[in-house]
Amino acid sequence: MAALSSTSDSLIGSLCREAEWIRCRCDQLSALLLGCRDAALSRRLKLERRTLRDRRHELLWLAQRWRLRKKDQDALTLDFLIELCRRD
């Protein structure tokens, strides 16, 4: 049986999963920071959250550029990736 998805679909799907994982992890880190009393741990958690947010912004930038180049091809999946990256 032939594969139903192309390599680009798989790549976009992986990026969507990464964007959602980043959003969930940032939520977890924010919750942990609320109860954190240790300064060193707080710094590490904030650094991780900052790194994840930077990655999310990088994914958004890439998806927007890719969307401009691809025009109608993969438009829906790229729009979905962009939406996931824009969520806080």
Q: For the chain, which residues make up each domain, given as ranges? A: 10-86
Mean pLDDT, range 9-27, rounded to an integer = 90
Question: Averaging pLDDT over each range in 2-6, 14-18, 84-88, which range is the top one?
Answer: 14-18
- The pLDDT confidence band at residue 6, using thresholds 50, 70 and 90, is low
Count CA atoms within 13 Å of residue 9 on its CB side: 6
Residue 1 has pLDDT above 50, yes or no: no
Question: Is this model's pTM higher than 0.75 or not?
Answer: yes
Convert 12-49 to b/e letters by CB count within 10 Å (16 or more is b).
Answer: beebbebbeebbeebeebeeeeeebeeeeeeeebeeeb
